[in-house]
């Protein structure tokens, strides 16, 4: 079990209010959702959720954990989005064997977004 997957599973259970709805949202079985949450509680050595046949509620420890888990997951998502933005937008300097000055529209495609073309 990955810690991040376990955190995301717990947050989804709390957000959805049930293991079944969380399982549907995460596209996994309710048994696997329950297993992730149970393993997380076991690893932490503390109960995070009170479970009944009709509802799921957070314990005091669960309330503290879920607050921080949401922050951590939001930070991870933000970091991954920022890295994705870097991958999509070329940047940096561009080297070209073309004679200068060349109008920007004639630069190679790799240099199209560059503000500082340099000559080789």
Q: What is the pLDDT of residue 53?
A: 82
Q: What is the pLDDT of residue 102?
A: 62
Domain identity same for 82 and 108: no
Predicted TM-score (pTM) of this structure? 0.68
Q: What is the pLDDT of residue 84?
A: 77
Domain identity same for 41 and 12: yes
- What does the angle CA 62 – CA 15 – CA 63 come to, to the nearest 5 degrees? 15
Domain identity same for 48 and 98: no
Domain identity same for 17 and 30: yes
Long-range CB pairs of 73-81 (<8 Å, 24+ gap) are 73/4, 73/7, 73/8, 73/11, 76/4
Domain identity same for 74 and 98: no
The CATH number of whichever domain residue 52 belongs to comes to: 1.10.10.10
Give residue 73's domain range: 3-88
The one-digit pLDDT tens for each residue of the chain (120 residues) are 689 999 999 999 999 999 999 999 999 999 999 999 999 999 999 999 999 888 899 999 999 999 999 999 999 999 989 887 776 656 666 666 666 666 666 656 655 555 555 555
Domain identity same for 42 and 28: yes
Domain identity same for 44 and 95: no
Domain identity same for 57 and 69: yes
């Amino acid at each position: 079990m990955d810690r991040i997957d376990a955190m995301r599973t717990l947050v989804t259970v709390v957000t959805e209010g049930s293991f079944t709805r969380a399982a549907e949202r995460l596209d996994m079985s309710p048994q696997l959702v329950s297993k992730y949450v149970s393993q997380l509680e076991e690893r932490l050595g503390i109960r995070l959720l009170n479970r009944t046949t009709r509802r799921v509620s957070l314990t005091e420890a669960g309330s503290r954990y879920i607050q921080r888990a949401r922050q951590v997951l939001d930070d991870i998502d933000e970091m991954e989005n920022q890295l994705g933005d870097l991958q999509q937008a070329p940047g940096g300097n561009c080297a070209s064997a073309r004679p200068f000055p060349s109008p920007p529209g004639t630069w190679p495609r790799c240099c199209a977004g560059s503000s500082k073309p340099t000559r080789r």
